Structure 1
Amino acid sequence: MKRIVITLLLTLALPGLASNVPEQPRRNPWLNESVYPISHHNPAQNDVSIAPGPTVGKKLSLEESFHVPLVWCSAPTVKTINGYTAVIAANPHGIIKIDATDGAFDQISNVAYPGWDDINAAITPEKIDEVRSAIDKHRRAKNDWRLLFNAWWAYIKLKMNVTTASSGAYGMIDKDGYHYASFDRLQLVKSFDGNIRNEPMRPVKHTDLRDQLPKDVAAQVKTILGLNLTYDGHIVAAATGALFVVDRELNLVDYKLFPGEHVENSVAVDERGIYLVTSKRMHHLVWTGEKLSDDESLGAWSSAYEVMPEGEAWRTGAASHGSGTTPTLMGFGDDEDHLVVISDGRAEGTQLVAFWRDAIPDDFAQKAGTSSRRIADQITIAISKTTIEASPAVYGYGVAVVNSSYPQPTIIPRDLLGNGLTAGITREPPRGLEKFQWNPQEDRFEQQWLRADIDNTDWMPPAISLVNGLAYIAHKQNGVYEYQAVEWDTGKTVARWEFPDDSVRWNTWGGITTLLADGDLLLGGFFGVKRFDTGNFAD
């Protein structure tokens, strides 16, 4: 029955088949046919889910809340093949496989990254629980400095450092069931379970990209920060200062360097090419099937956008030098405007910025205050002073952003644990969810609604269900984590799911909202990956 449901969902997701849903990006045939084969749902990175999200709210019990411990996971990917469903949770130390077939949530394997057996073995469920319990104690006591000290101590206890922290942040599963992730800064790993339900997910190949680069080039790049897949089956890896294309056997095919520019986000992909934002510019590179090209005659382009002076964003609590968002594509129909959307880093307050993806319309005049004619429009985001770190969610011509500016950041720049664990408890959290609508007749954004009450401590972008048009958003009320379903057109809450208790166990920090095929929530965050039995639907 599950296979029938997923097949139906995938059919619904194909563009042009239903008149009541916005046109969606063409399905990438090289990705696994599941509800979540790649971070941000699809190559366009728009966070639209093909799953029918739940519509009947409730307080979730412990029996309805499933948890597999790990240090941190952004967005566990979902594999559906040969009649079973698996959740693959790449994390700072290895790859965990969870059987999620028919409501299950049972760990099958926890395999270290190549060469990391000792590191992975040292991080036991008991150690994770010890760290989490200490943090819970000081959260409940509302003791700011003790809570902050335990957050910082967690970096040491859980071996979260510059080498491990970004490992496993992005992942994807190809059509044959192989999983891909990055680790140890510039290493890629390909893993497989034989497409057998109870078999472990084990690395079958890995490479250090530095070994495939000239020494002078290798010295210029540091860490892989995002992964995507082209429509001809090549892996795109965004790294600090560079963009790589490798084949599925992990052989380097081509690369581009961006001297003097920080690459701090993942990339979006369509049939025409790759969209990469750096700390200074938005780039569209063309993938010819053999090489990356920045040749304008082939459709490539590059545009500046507004950013703060170097380093100033960090001092205000941001985690990025320029834009903090992965580029998100908007518009997929032949007669629609084709745009790519980011938030900028303007010192006077961040803006939502849209760039023309294809040829700029002949009658379009550059707008006052924009950095180039390539910018279709930009509008101030009222809820945030620094760049948005959670990528925009796009459904049709609508785009939603969450505030990720911590009002009272800790004294350490980019202190993800410290900010994430004190905000909303002993310090003010970032608040606000704002939706804009693109007006294609006037080539401009219009604010549609704003929710000033939403607690965005966890930097979670919403996900929109293609089946019911509801947006699913993370929130925290009186220190208790919860999820809400809101109407995409109005922002009105129609259902709430309060998590079982006030433990930080249920946080979703740095994750991406995911819906399983039965409507259950699948969420990452610190200390574990979670499945919530929210799969209930109104008549």
Structure 2
Amino acid sequence: MNTRREFLVGSFSILAAAVALPLLPSARVFAQSAIPRMPGLNPFLAKSAFPISHSNPGATEAVPHAGPTKGRQLTAADVKTIPNVFTSHPTVKNVGGERIIIASGVDGIRKILATGDAFELIDFIAYPGHGDYVAKATPAAIEAALEKADAAYREKDDTAIMALSGPMSDSGFNRRQIAGGAYNMIDKDGFHYAPSGGLTIVKSTDDNQPRGKLRIVKSKDLAADVPAELKASVTYIVGITMSYAGDVIVAAHGALFLLDRELEFKGVLPIPGEAIENSICADEKGIYVVTSRRMLKVVWTGTKLSFDETDGGWQSPYNTMSPERAKAAGALTVSGGSGTTPSLMGFGDDPDKLVVISDADPQGAQVVAFWRDEIPADFKQQPGTQSRRIAGQIRTDISTVTIEPSFSVLGYGVVVQNGAYPQPVPDIWSNAFSAGVTRPAPFGIQKFTWNTQTRSFEKNWINQEVDNTDVMVPVVAAANRMIYLASKKDGIYEYLGVDWDTGETKARWPFPDDSRKWNAWGGITALLEDGDLLIGGVFAIKRVNIGGNGQSIA
């Protein structure tokens, strides 16, 4: 394709043709020419490809449209940026023919106009009570920190890289604040929801005016709703989602909260002695939460949150390791349990409905699938599993510790990343910017397929060239069966296009230079309908034109 316009026309032609094809009945895998079923649309979320972090309520990280396939060297003109300390996954809404991006960060919320090729900051609003972070995270301060990071990289100075951890933490790049930049969503009426640090969640709006200013509608501190016996341990939010009944579900470290969309408190599920270290997902029947000990399906009965089977929920243990062993092995999580945001597999008329995570088995991370609904009557507990609720599990060949990045799921295929830093350091900044530079990087992605006939996982392929330092969640383009993911080569940031079916790297998009600005750390890749990438990370939010002209460099 020679022009951006031709790419767009081609993409939508592929999508239209794929959607028109009939979906096959139950089979061990879906036909390559058909788009597998995807999570049902949540009527309470904005109608866009990315209304919520992790792309959709099922956290499958898959979109129906196609992406570019021709790699090329990116130029400065291909990457538009807006400075901020950290954002993981900006969310998108469409209003009056305009594309609006709402990006929650560690200091506040940014509104960006992204219609056509635009990437224009329209407004910024600070989280209530966060003036100290705003004062420290000015564009000038971010640029100064970036210059120091670039200099440390170019000198390959491990000490200088790690010395930046303190100042970046003071600016909001710390465990307490990072959820504010990691998780957010936009509801059907255009209201935006995001954690703002600690136990506070913020609801904001631009009144659906494409160039209108943001304003805070309500700020809710959940601290008052934490049971007295848990106040010392339940201190910060780790994830949010929208239930299919239109309620806001907030996961905190040790508890689950239910609010209505006016942020009025409805219920809390205490989970004492157990850590929740990543976000949550949902389908029409429940909320899926993984703790440091158990996988839970939680339901709202109308009066309480419950995982009791009599209410329609369930619980299951899975394999874990000690916190000490997890830390020594380079795990991003600190509890010794799973660090994965659960992902759903199987929708509509698909024969098997599953939820998948990585466990923390001491012998190496396993992909573990749990039956989401009733366990089939003829199903017998599998050898080596901790409960009959576990449909199947298989050891990965790439990771010794739990896999923190959310899985990418398309049909019954699932791609996972190696998230274990070989020479870990104690803080998130130093791992993010020393790995692949002064310390070895975690390499490798692997694909498995769930066989609905044998009720077991099968290994498909491994791609060992992917540098996973950024622990960036990939996105899958269903129409052309490509997965797009962050990597580095010789220390230079790049994006890769990998064939979903073979694992072959089909395209590479190296960033314009060796700056650390191009990192995508802790982010979730968004592939816009026009083929551009929308990515977060540290220092800047980035819109990347990977389509267009250019000689293939795959």
Alignment CA distance shift 1:214-1:129 (3 Å): same
In the TM superposition, residue 213 of structure 1 has moved relative to its aligned partner by 4.4
Q: What stretches of structure 1 of length at least 5 have no aligned partner?
A: none
C-alpha contact (below 8 Å) 1:193/1:201 kept by paired residues: yes
Alignment correspondent of 2:440 = 428
Alignment correspondent of 1:271 = 284
Aligned partners of 2:142 and 2:390: how far apart in 1?
A: 46
Alignment correspondent of 1:532 = 544
Alignment correspondent of 2:371 = 356
Alignment correspondent of 1:459 = 471
Alignment CA distance shift 1:14-1:354 (3 Å): farther
C-alpha contact (below 8 Å) 2:226/2:234 kept by paired residues: no
In the TM superposition, residue 119 of structure 1 has moved relative to its aligned partner by 2.8
Alignment RMSD: 2.2
Alignment CA distance shift 1:537-1:209 (3 Å): farther
Q: Which moved more, 1:486-495 or 1:61-70?
A: 486-495
In the TM superposition, residue 402 of structure 1 has moved relative to its aligned partner by 0.6
1:100-249 to 2 correspondences below 5 Å = 100-156=114-170, 158-249=171-262
TM-score (norm 1): 0.94
Q: 1:419 aligns with which of 413, 431, 440?
A: 431
Alignment correspondent of 1:390 = 405
SS class of match (1:527): strand
State whether structure 2 residue 527 is matched by structure 1 residue 515: yes
Alignment CA distance shift 1:536-1:31 (3 Å): farther
In the TM superposition, residue 511 of structure 1 has moved relative to its aligned partner by 0.1
In the TM superposition, residue 219 of structure 1 has moved relative to its aligned partner by 4.2
SS class of match (1:185): coil
Residue identity in the other structure for 2:547 = G
* Deviation digits for residues 316-353 of structure 1 (CA, Å, limit 9, x no counterpart): 22122211100100011324211110000111111110
1:195-344 to 2 correspondences below 5 Å = 195-320=208-333, 321=335, 322-344=337-359
Aligned partners of 1:162 and 1:401: how far apart in 2?
A: 24
Aligned partners of 2:259 and 2:178: how far apart in 1?
A: 23
TM-score (norm 2): 0.91
* Deviation digits for residues 477-530 of structure 1 (CA, Å, limit 9, x no counterpart): 111111111111101122221111110000000000101121100000011100
1:471-510 to 2 correspondences below 5 Å = 471-510=483-522
In the TM superposition, residue 311 of structure 1 has moved relative to its aligned partner by 3.6
In the TM superposition, residue 153 of structure 1 has moved relative to its aligned partner by 3.7
Q: 2:382 aligns with which of 363, 367, 387?
A: 367
Aligned partners of 2:312 and 2:19: how far apart in 1?
A: 24
Residue identity in the other structure for 2:39 = P
Aligned partners of 1:33 and 1:535: how far apart in 2?
A: 24
Q: What stretches of structure 2 of length at least 5 have no aligned partner?
A: 24-33
Residue identity in the other structure for 2:395 = T
Alignment CA distance shift 1:298-1:211 (3 Å): closer
Residue identity in the other structure for 2:92 = V
C-alpha contact (below 8 Å) 2:472/2:524 kept by paired residues: yes
In the TM superposition, residue 537 of structure 1 has moved relative to its aligned partner by 9.3
In the TM superposition, residue 289 of structure 1 has moved relative to its aligned partner by 4.9
In the TM superposition, residue 532 of structure 1 has moved relative to its aligned partner by 0.6
C-alpha contact (below 8 Å) 1:15/1:23 kept by paired residues: no
Residue identity in the other structure for 2:412 = Y
Aligned partners of 1:12 and 1:225: how far apart in 2?
A: 37
In the TM superposition, residue 170 of structure 1 has moved relative to its aligned partner by 0.2
C-alpha contact (below 8 Å) 1:234/1:245 kept by paired residues: yes
Alignment CA distance shift 1:301-1:16 (3 Å): farther
C-alpha contact (below 8 Å) 1:224/1:238 kept by paired residues: yes
Alignment CA distance shift 1:441-1:206 (3 Å): same
Alignment correspondent of 2:26 = none
Q: How many residues align?
A: 529
